[in-house]
Structure 1
């Protein structure tokens, strides 16, 4: 997804990806932000935003300097993605230095 994360008037990129553990039964979701610099993109932040026993995360849009996402969390100790009625929440992430912080 593209949006101006650093306020310089140029579209930056946010990329959501998942990593599976081939040795076991686990997975994680991460979000990488690439800032447009000198005709290319440079990695600015790469943060874990979800995972099997954390929450599920979906990027929705970039508005201003914020990445808006939707989380779904299973109550108790259920792994994410297996409960029938997850708790849903909208989250906003902002780039602070080399980190993404939830507002």
Structure 2
């Protein structure tokens, strides 16, 4: 599902309507989702994998995402443009020990 802009309400609606299992957003969009008034009424139980890049995900946001979607496992992809964003990966099991890291 590709949306024309990162509108939090549209993203949350699409997750619930389509039962999305994967979601890739930069940390700024993950933050917008967490601050959206529409979040309270949205079913996130279908989400299994979350991906982010461009910067680190603040530890507070990581904790809040885990609380709201406990089945969601997060990956951080990081790398220079010349190398692609998969140059380094911070996997789900490293989110707690290296929280706030990029890649």
TM-score by length of 2: 0.28
Larger gyration radius, structure 1 or structure 2: 1
Quick check: which one's helix share is greater? 2
TM-score by length of 1: 0.28
Structure number with higher relative contact order (C-alpha < 8 Å, ≥ 6 residues apart): 2
